[in-house]
Each structure stands twice: as structure tokens, then as C-alpha cells.
């Protein structure tokens, strides 16, 4: 099958998409409505709501933009079996399925982020409304959608030679307690907005384009308080993201955007996302002495300042000692172990409450090799082992190896006594989309 150079989004291409994709069209995965295709004018500034973030650009949205209050992460896998013929799809057929889905998602995303209707729903019941209506009357609430590609996708669609060189499955880490249900995926979408209902509508709209093309693998949802310009706090009460590089600051580009010299060319202006679901033992944390909590993190909870003194953004002094001659910032504190590894943390809190089933754990969430220690009480029973809350750790970075290096250092982290990693995934985040081309267009263009 010949490839479509550039995968240009014209009206003609969209009208012929269903015929080109064969079995996908038979299952109703036809492209949705079109805005900003060839010949269409970009909306004027006066017609775009003030609560919007731009979609088209050099980089994808939802990375350098200020964090919104709500987030949803959803991973999908391509459907490897044709739902009509019940035959296994070839790599080229999967490439076509992938390309068509990205065209649909690109069009929907451009519309939703601009505050417009998402476009026609794929073929289905003729009586079904075009949109859920759940966000009717609501502003876009700074909605952003960011898409990623998993390590196994490239070989699956016959493009192993185009996989970004730094994109490899993450290795096993000493303190991992991962559950398969919350790991991996061919495709990722990060949806963020300041309104949870707008978020829900965007997810439902994307999911409605997937039958016959992709199946949902896992979802996670998170939230942040209304901190304004201040650093958000995690569920331990500590500020999370103090050391983040800031857009426009020296070093932001070098920390976040992939090295263009590393290739491939189509991935220039892309980045990588490491996603980790980290469960927190909040009952144990909440009943630990305040000074123990601060020493675990290496910062004061009230103002985020390093224990060596100053304010939140004061450079930590790891050599400064107290009256007892011991370092004020413990060498095995979280701050001391990761302070010099650059990455953009864009994490969210989650609190799912008591789950119907629970991963087998020891009393009080003990971790192998980590005792509770002095001043750290254990908890037994009372549903603590079934209560699932913590942080959805999201790190955008130039190379996932930066995270691997940090995580290996954290094997001795005091924080391990209060957390466990239960979900994990890594994705290549393609560059931003042009108005006439879908996301990841260069991946499928003629070689």
C-alpha cells in the first residue's frame, strides 16, 4: 500500500477517508466535521473565547501551558483484528487505522479547544445526537488535549525505523509494585481543563471515534486546587513542582524538548512523557510527626523552603549542618536525591476512595526493606489497604533516561516508606500540528 505524503487534511481527503480505510469505514470510523481545512480561514481573535488555549503550533498544547485544575489520562491500544472480517490486520492496515484515527482526533481537538462543536459523530444510529450535550453552555475552560505514542506502536504499524531513539519501555525499578491494568498503551491522550464537565465531554468525544480502530486500555483522573500562580500542593500537603523549569527561562527547552540531532526528523519539536501512578499511604503520613515529614521531603511544608533555609526558590545547601553536626537536608531525602535532574513535572492528585478489590498488602502498607521507623505508626485494617489516593506523576523531559536515572537514585529515598508505584507508562509526544495536517503526520509520510 502506498503512503500518503504528509497526510494533508483537505476536504477531498476527508471525503475519501472512509473508502481508503476499508474495514475501518465499515465499522463507522469515518472522519468527523472539518474546520480549518484547506481554504478555511483561521477564526478571528474576536471570535475565539478568552478561555481557550491554541491548538496548532510548534509544540503540542498542554505541556508548557499553566496547569489546569482537572486532568484525565486515557491509554488506548490499536485493534489488531478487523471487526467485520475477523481477520488479523497487517502492519500496513494498522498504519491506515492509526492514520485515520489521528485525522479524526486532530479535527475534533481543534474544534473543541476553540470552543466549537466537535463535528459529525462517526456513523452509527441515525437518531443519535451529534454531541453529548454535557458541556452545552460552558466555556472551553482552557481545554487542552495532548497525544502520545507508546513504544510498541511503531513496530505494530510497520514503522520501527521511525521510533524515536530514546523511546524504550521503562526498566523495572526496585520498589515498583505495578499492576498491569494501569500500565502501557499504544496511544495516550492527556486531557486538561479548568472545568471537569468540559473534560468529560472531550473524553467522550474522542472515545466515540475509536470503535473498530482502538480499544480503551486504562484511564486515570486527577485534580489540583486553585493555586493561581503558586506551586500546587500534593496530598502530602507539600508543594510539588518547585524546581520546575519555567517556559522562557534558560534551560527550559534543553530540559523538555527532545534533542533534534537524535532524530528521527519527523519528531523534531517533540518530547517524552513518563507517567506513573503513585499511591500514597495518607493515614501513615498524617500521623507522622511534622519534622519527620519535612525531613522525608527535604523542605518545609508551610512555605516550601529547603531545610537549609531561605524561601521556596532558594538553592538548597546540602552541606549545611545543624547543631548535631548532621546535614539539615538529609542525604536520603527526596530533595537531595533528585534536585539536579531536569524535568517538567505536570502532576495531578487523585483520590478514588475505597476500591472494591485491593492489591494484597502487608499491614500498614509496609514495603519490603522499609520499616516504619521511629515516629511512623502503622495502621491495620479499617479499609486503609483498600483506599486508593495519591499522585498521577507526569514528567515531560528531553529523554526518558533522565527519569530512569532519577528513579534509580530514589531506591534509597525516605519517601518510599509512604508510597508505592502501581502504574507506569512512557510515550513519545509528537510535535504540534499544522492547520492542514494531523498530528504525527510525518510518521506515516513517504519514506
pLDDT at residue 33 is higher than 70: no
Q: Give the list of residues 6+ apart from residue 335 with CB closer than 8 angstroms, or none.
A: 297, 298, 299, 306, 316, 329
- Number of Cβ atoms within 10 Å of the Cβ of 232: 21
- Quote the number of domains for the chain: 2
- Express each pLDDT in 228-266 by its tens digit: 889 999 999 999 999 999 998 889 999 999 999 998 999
pLDDT at residue 1 is higher than 50: no
- Express each pLDDT in 295-311 by its tens digit: 999 999 999 999 999 99
Q: Is residue 36 in a domain?
A: yes
pLDDT at residue 7 is higher than 50: no
Q: Which of 12-26, 239-253, 362-376 has the highest mean pLDDT?
A: 239-253
Whether the link from the prior residue into 264 is cis, omega within 30° of 0, is yes
CA distances from 51 to 291, 331, 335 (A): 42, 44, 35
Q: Residue 49: what pLDDT?
A: 53
pLDDT at residue 73 is higher than 70: yes
pLDDT at residue 367 is higher than 80: no
Q: Residue 21: what pLDDT?
A: 40
Q: Is residue 395 in a domain?
A: yes
Q: Record the cell numbers describing residue 222, joined without a space.
A: 486527577
- First-to-last alpha carbon distance for the chain, in angstroms, is 13
67 and 187 assigned to the same domain = yes
Min mean pLDDT across 293-302, 308-317, 366-375, 377-386 is at 366-375
413 and 353 assigned to the same domain = yes
Q: Residue 446: what pLDDT?
A: 53
Whether the CB-CB separation of 336 and 318 falls below 8 Å is answered with yes
333 and 243 assigned to the same domain = no
* Main-chain phi, psi angles of 185, to 5 degrees: 135, 145
Q: Give the list of residues 6+ apart from residue 130 with CB closer than 8 angstroms, or none.
A: 117, 118, 119, 120, 121
Min mean pLDDT across 6-20, 139-153, 178-192, 247-261 is at 6-20
pLDDT band at 129 (very low <50, low <70, confident <90, very high): confident
Q: Residue 123: what pLDDT?
A: 66
258 and 120 assigned to the same domain = yes
Torsion-angle region of 409 (φ positive above 0: left; ψ -120 to 50: alpha; else: beta): alpha
Q: Is residue 422 in a domain?
A: yes
Q: Give the list of residues 6+ apart from residue 447 with CB closer than 8 angstroms, or none.
A: 3
Taking residues 320-325, report their average pLDDT. Answer: 96
Q: Is residue 178 in a domain?
A: no
Residue 257's domain comprises 5-43+55-168+183-265+431-444
Q: Is residue 177 in a domain?
A: no
pLDDT at residue 17 is higher than 70: no
Round to whole Å and give the CA distance between 113 and 437. 17
Q: What's the predicted TM-score (pTM) here?
A: 0.85
**Cell 515529614 belongs to residue:** 293
345 and 228 assigned to the same domain = no
pLDDT band at 138 (very low <50, low <70, confident <90, very high): very high
233 and 359 assigned to the same domain = no
Give me the CATH number covering residue 86.
Answer: 3.30.70.1030
Whether the CB-CB separation of 219 and 132 falls below 8 Å is answered with no
355 and 390 assigned to the same domain = yes
342 and 312 assigned to the same domain = yes
Active site residues: 240
Percent of the chain with pLDDT over 70: 81
Taking residues 210-226, report their average pLDDT. Answer: 96
Round to whole Å and give the CA distance between 105 and 7. 14
pLDDT at residue 142 is higher than 90: yes
Q: Is residue 175 in a domain?
A: no
Q: Is residue 63 in a domain?
A: yes
pLDDT band at 124 (very low <50, low <70, confident <90, very high): low
357 and 329 assigned to the same domain = yes
Q: Residue 357: what pLDDT?
A: 59
Q: Residue 249: what pLDDT?
A: 86
197 and 76 assigned to the same domain = yes
211 and 290 assigned to the same domain = no
pLDDT band at 187 (very low <50, low <70, confident <90, very high): very high
Q: Sort 336 into a burial class: Cβ within 10 Å, 0-12 / 13-18 / 19+.
A: buried
- Express each pLDDT in 396-429 by its tens digit: 999 999 999 999 999 999 999 999 999 999 999 9
Q: Is residue 19 in a domain?
A: yes
247 and 310 assigned to the same domain = no
* DSSP class per residue in 288-325: S-HHHHHHHHTB-TTT--BTTSS-TTSPP-TT-B-TTS
**Per-chain mean pLDDT for the chain:** 85
pLDDT band at 132 (very low <50, low <70, confident <90, very high): confident
Round to whole Å and give the CA distance between 348 and 76. 20
Min mean pLDDT across 7-16, 118-127, 342-351 is at 7-16
Amino acid at each position: 500500500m502506498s503512503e500518503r505524503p504528509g497526510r494533508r487534511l483537505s476536504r477531498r481527503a476527508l471525503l475519501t477517508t472512509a473508502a481508503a480505510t476499508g474495514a475501518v469505514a465499515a465499522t463507522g470510523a469515518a472522519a468527523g466535521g472539518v474546520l480549518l481545512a484547506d481554504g478555511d480561514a483561521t477564526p478571528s481573535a474576536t471570535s475565539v473565547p478568552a478561555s481557550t488555549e491554541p491548538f496548532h503550533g510548534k509544540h503540542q498544547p498542554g505541556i508548557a501551558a499553566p496547569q489546569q485544575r482537572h486532568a484525565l489520562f486515557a491509554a488506548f491500544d490499536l485493534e489488531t483484528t478487523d471487526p467485520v472480517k475477523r481477520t488479523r490486520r497487517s502492519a500496513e492496515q494498522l498504519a491506515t487505522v492509526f492514520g485515520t484515527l489521528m485525522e479524526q482526533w486532530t479535527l475534533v481537538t481543534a474544534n473543541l479547544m476553540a470552543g466549537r462543536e466537535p463535528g459529525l459523530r462517526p456513523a452509527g444510529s441515525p437518531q443519535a445526537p451529534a454531541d453529548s450535550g454535557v458541556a452545552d453552555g460552558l466555556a472551553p475552560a482552557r481545554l487542552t488535549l495532548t497525544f502520545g505514542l507508546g513504544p510498541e506502536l511503531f513496530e505494530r504499524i510497520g514503522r520501527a525505523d521511525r521510533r524515536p531513539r530514546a523511546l524504550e519501555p521503562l526498566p523495572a525499578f526496585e520498589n515498583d509494585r505495578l499492576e498491569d491494568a494501569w500500565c502501557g498503551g499504544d496511544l495516550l491522550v492527556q486531557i486538561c481543563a479548568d472545568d471537569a464537565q468540559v473534560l468529560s465531554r472531550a473524553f467522550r468525544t474522542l472515545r466515540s471515534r475509536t470503535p473498530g480502530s482502538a480499544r480503551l486500555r486504562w484511564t486515570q483522573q486527577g485534580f489540583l486546587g486553585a493555586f493561581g500562580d503558586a506551586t500546587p500542593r500534593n496530598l502530602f500537603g507539600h508543594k510539588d513542582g518547585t524546581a520546575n523549569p519555567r517556559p522562557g527561562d534558560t534551560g527550559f527547552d534543553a530540559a523538555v524538548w527532545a534533542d533534534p540531532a537524535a532524530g528521527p526528523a519527523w519528531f523534531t519539536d517533540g518530547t517524552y512523557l513518563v507517567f506513573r501512578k503513585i499511591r500514597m499511604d495518607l493515614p501513615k503520613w498524617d500521623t507522622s510527626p511534622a519534622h519527620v515529614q519535612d525531613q522525608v521531603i527535604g523542605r518545609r511544608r508551610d512555605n516550601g523552603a529547603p531545610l537549609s533555609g531561605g524561601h521556596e526558590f532558594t538553592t538548597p545547601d546540602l552541606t549545611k549542618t545543624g547543631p548535631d553536626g548532621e546535614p539539615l537536608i538529609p542525604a536520603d531525602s527526596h530533595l537531595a536525591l533528585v534536585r539536579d535532574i531536569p524535568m517538567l513535572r505536570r502532576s495531578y492528585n487523585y483520590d478514588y476512595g475505597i476500591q472494591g478489590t485491593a492489591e494484597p498488602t502487608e499491614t500498614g502498607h509496609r514495603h519490603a526493606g522499609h520499616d516504619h521507623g521511629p515516629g511512623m505508626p502503622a495502621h491495620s485494617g479499617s479499609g486503609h489497604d483498600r483506599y486508593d489516593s495519591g499522585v498521577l506523576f507526569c514528567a515531560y523531559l528531553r529523554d526518558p533516561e533522565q527519569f530512569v536515572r532519577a528513579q534509580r537514585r530514589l531506591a534509597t529515598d525516605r519517601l518510599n516508606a509512604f508510597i508505592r508505584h502501581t502504574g507506569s507508562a512512557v510515550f513519545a509526544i509528537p510535535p504540534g500540528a499544522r492547520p492542514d495536517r494531523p498530528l504525527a503526520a510525518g510518521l506515516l509520510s513517504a519514506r
